[in-house]
Amino acid sequence: MAKQRTIAKDVSLSGIGLHTGQKTSITFKPAPANAGIFFMKNGVKITPDASKVSNTVRGTTIGEGENAVNTVEHLLAAFVGMGIDNICVEITADEPPIGDGSAMPFVKMIEEAGIVEQDAEKKYYTPSMKISYSDNEAKVEALPSGRFKVTAEIEYDHPLIRRQRLEIIIDEEVFKKEIAPAKTYCFDYEIEQLEAIGLAKGGSLKNAIVIGEKGIHNKEMMTFEDEFVRHKILDLMGDLYLIGRPVKADITSFCGGHTSNTALAKLFAKDIEMTGGGVVPEYPMELDLEGVKSAIPHRPPFLFVDSVTITEEAVAAVGRRLIRPDEWFFKGHFPERPVLPGVLITEALAQTACVLLLSKPDWKGKLPFFMGINNVKFRRPVNPGDELILKVEIIRPRMRGGKAAGQAYVGDALVCECEFSFSLVDKE
């Protein structure tokens, strides 16, 4: 079981706020298990909460008036990316320091303070169903998953950007290397507009990438060629952490921003309220024969999986099937030279995929149907006494089915590989 985490000691950082221009300081302090993440400002406790978002113009603000904290997304992204569950953030002004416009200053603070495991189980959230939000051009969508995967795309009518797209599975190391260094950005023609509405007072070429019509004014600031879509993922991570726990889902974002991100977080919060929390079980999960039979409707003589290990919820699994010498199909295939029919190998792979999906509580009561199969290759025969190792991965998840890739092995020898599609329908 993964444990909750906090930091080992106090650590502080001072600087200037991006939008307020205020001189500001923050101090990270350890917090007890189940305390969550919270700010202390003028002696008042402010808890990041999707329902307390008061502004999403070029940043996410939580709270109201004097009891508000602006531009919290980079800070929250650092906490979720580094696996911090419980921490107190003392803040002296209305906004955290912007640093270089990325989450790296906060990552370095966490590393300087040190990370401590606590005696409480980590709490995750996974959606109970497909959840989506769209508004004008922006669209964000979440599918249940046992991992945190983001597919983000941005599109601008600008010769230097046009379109950027990134698909990435994020863990702590990936976050530090691929997402945390991505810096905030704006177009130079926006600066006057932002200043007119009282924003970007602390902005400079040292804390934001500024894009001009013919070039980037401070290209030396950039870490990645696709920096802008990576920063969008950084913002998304921070905004979704407004539900108070890390998310396990496959997220798709098209032209997303703080408004669509926080709207999705609010839908997550509503889902938590309705389903009782949506806590993700710990994986890998072992299912013996009885566990397999409780997940799928198949029964002997047409059950071709003895056990399944689900390595990632709704993503990957490994099944096992001992091919017994007295199997009924060997009487005709073939009496003189018994060989497991290839179609039954593909059926065993499909059943393993069904166990993977139908083990989810919210998908119980569904019936799986084999809809298509592609790119099938049989590498060697499977004989009585062999044990099939059945590896499947869902490569295109859908609420009513999907597409999977499967490989069957005997020992280390690949005996079959294929891709197949399936549909899940209500039993009624």
Tokens coding 155: 């599109």
Verify whether residue 258 is a known catalytic residue: yes
Q: Tell me if residue 298 falls in helix, strand or coil.
A: coil
Residue with tokens 């869902």: 394
- Name beta bridge partners: 406: 392, 418
Q: Tell me if residue 56 falls in helix, strand or coil.
A: coil
Dihedral class, residue 345 (left if φ above 0, else alpha if ψ from -120 to 50, else beta) = alpha
Question: How would DSSP label each residue in 89-103?
Answer: EEESSSS---TTSSS
Verify whether residue 74 is a known catalytic residue: no
Helix (H) or strand (E) holding 354: helix 342-358
CA nearest neighbour of 280 among 399, 395, 127, 151: 127
Q: Tell me if residue 88 falls in helix, strand or coil.
A: strand
CA distance 386 to 371: 28
CA distance 388 to 414: 10
Q: Do the Cβ atoms of 96 and 75 come closer than 8 Å?
A: yes
User: Taking the alpha carbons of 251, 254, 258, 263 in that order, is the dihedral positive or negative?
Assistant: negative
Tokens coding 311: 């390595």
CB-based contacts of 399, cutoff 8 Å, min separation 6: 129, 130, 143
Q: What are phi and psi of 139, to 5 degrees?
A: -145, 130
Q: Which of 19, 74, 231, 258 is catalytic?
A: 258
Active site residues: 258, 333
